[in-house]
Chains A and B, each alone.
Chain A
């Protein structure tokens, strides 16, 4: 092992270590701009030049590997001259506009200039000016400030997986940009803001609103997917100002996705509720908590008296904390209703009894990147769990193979083998894969299925391959059949099942018993309740909703709306009122993102507590307190909690230690095949990245447009042209702009969920018709 000396301190390091890494291990600071431990070494800023004994010139610490006996000085005259020289050159073209620069106060260039620069510049000529680029609603550019460290470029190439920024031009004319005017599309693009060591790339939504030193930092957990990224919620007074990643090597390393970073902007939505709302004679009135609680408790008691507890259902989102989930099911079951569920996006619950204690990755996120063979079943983690997707990408870059079975082609940001079923024929894909796994000798004779055969061979050859069940599998209208065959695939391939949970607290929701068939901890519920979909179909008389908008969040928004509007009593506990006002009778304001405390359990089974960053807005109350008061008022036993910790302890007592590795409780049953939708055209719906929950839907910088997507040949066959089309289902119509997209299979039209525009269409997957929109309607839409 080479022994080197830096500033007189000896250190014994592994061969191949760079001077930078050795110095950091010793706690010696060497200034740098372009170096980043997660990115390749570019050595182009030259800020880390150090003086190495016997080397004629100063050497860049980030790119120089140590050699035995090396003596490095970071503060000799030679090193200092090099540092001053580099800074003088970097500052030649950098504007001295720190007072109006958003990076001011958190700017490495500012800090390093203060610490290392010669106070005088010899430069008297004109500075260069670089045109700013419009790269979308998230990142503001001020390219004259750029020092060409290329961190953003390398991030796109190496981490984001789509290279969108590049360095064009040469010498003095070199500039970072996209060359052609376009918005960056990477779902991880916000990280470039953090990486930029100057004020060239700053956050557009946050810009000019606060200075770094005014902000209070509160550690938090991201509520937008099951990865459970660690975040730093930065606030001023009662307002969340921005969200940044918090380093957590085992979870999100030091990145977060744009959804987690910019969803907070939705807190400013104009329909945020901060005062209880009561519907009186069809009009909404702001009322006191006492009045609202009286109405709620009175309404529930009346319903129980008149119709019995079987007529009350409870739906809660998987973004609620375990404490809220635990109290929610406790409240419902305490007053006698078994109908409680959190799986709003799902429709087929026939496999419920066999499901594991909770869907989980069954391994650490870090281990995922070392898996050699993965079969991803119906999921697109780039949309659904962006930072878990990052681990899958690392697995592929390390030589792993990923096969994807899905209902449509998708833009993965790493090479995968995609095997796509024809519209509505997903189940058959898994059946065929099983056949190839079962009879390898028959494979040679099979024609036309070469890719699936290749997947079968890779799975057979692999030792214990990962069969990763994506969120799309559970959302499938024939999920139970898919699960049966996925179970068969796992058994035949000698693989293990692993799950990609959908919500931030999907695991917590299962463990806390917010499912109709199991109690907290997983014991079977003595009284089997109705799952989410069936609650709509049964047309209950009353619903309690928590942190969800069923009309947009549910697999069949039209059915949800129908059932809710027909109900006698709908209590909506949440942060926003626009959707809720369509069907609710009472709206109880709950705290929003950043205002509440609790804990989530992520997809690894990792328990992650978080606390409030800011005070609740207006009269909003923590969800657990609202549930406690309701439970107490309705006479539910053991609901006299005073502190959140008491709820946590009650939950822990009820659940006990939960395992990190979970397997199905029984083999998945072979379900009779559901009604095969033999429609000429199938509506395929999914929640786009920024439409998946009430908060992100309201984030202005993440606004997405609802469009319909159709294969160009399918469009030609239907004689449709880009423009506005009208989609019709059994329950409603939608007018949407048509986009041609080769990734959509023939026989299907992709129509997104989570938009008010598509709410009336109903099921996420089902028959539909499409036609050119009537001209008047199209013109009206175009005008909007």
Chain B
């Protein structure tokens, strides 16, 4: 179900913890599985739980707790807009509304072309650059509507990292 590389990485994570503490490796194992598969389908979580020898419900608990895990397929670019206090005071709600308008989707949805998924998330620890959003592994700070437009345009051009 997972690639050889993902299995090796999970085994490495597992080895970091004592024999009776398999659950400690769960966060990392789920992250690796998600990177490998794109999102965490129930079968993928079941498989990860099986690899670690724990009950599937423990994987579901962890995966539903953290917003970084995707339980549904996501677009190529996952846009996570911070909606916590600092960003909100600096106009994150307008950034979000602008993104919805530009992408033609609501928060939580994916564009029909499968390119973008839009999320509102809690604080990502970049209050200094509020309002901010995360796309893939990268933070974009001090957002304005214009800057959002240019980022979207660059992402549409095919870039993954469009600083």
Contact = CB atoms under 8 A, between A and B. Distances in A.
Contact of A166 (B42, B60, B66): B60
Contacts of B42: 179-180
Contacts of A165: 57
B61 interface: yes
A163 B65 contact: no
Contact of A164 (B57, B64, B66): B57
A165 B58 CA distance: 9
A179 B58 contact: no
B35 interface: no
Contacts, number: 31
B64 A170 contact: yes
Interface in A94-143: none
Given A179-B60, A180-B42, A169 B55 contact: no
Contacts of B60: 166, 168, 179-180
26 contacts: A162-B55, A163-B55, A163-B57, A163-B58, A164-B55, A164-B57, A165-B57, A166-B57, A166-B58, A166-B60, A166-B61, A168-B60, A168-B61, A168-B64, A168-B65, A169-B64, A169-B65, A170-B64, A170-B65, A178-B57, A179-B42, A179-B56, A179-B57, A179-B60, A179-B64, A180-B56
A164 B58 CA distance: 9
Interface in A160-186: 162-170, 178-180
Contacts of B56: 179-180
A401 to B, nearest CB: 15
Interface string B17-49: 000000000000000000000000010000000
Contacts of B65: 168-170
Interface residues of B, number: 10
Nearest to B61: A166
A165 B55 CA distance: 10
B43 to A, nearest CB: 10
B50 to A, nearest CB: 14
Contacts of A169: 64-65
B9 to A, nearest CB: 25
Nearest to B64: A168
Interface string B51-92: 000011110110011100000000000000000000000000
A306 B35 CA distance: 85
Contacts of A166: 57-58, 60-61
Nearest to B63: A168
A162 B54 CA distance: 10
B70 to A, nearest CB: 15
Given A163-B57, A166-B60, A168-B60, 13 more contacts: A163-B58, A164-B55, A165-B57, A166-B58, A166-B61, A167-B61, A168-B61, A168-B65, A170-B64, A178-B57, A179-B42, A179-B56, A179-B61
Interface in B120-139: none
Contacts of A168: 60-61, 64-65
A178 B64 CA distance: 12
Contacts of A179: 42, 56-57, 60-61, 64
A163 B61 CA distance: 12
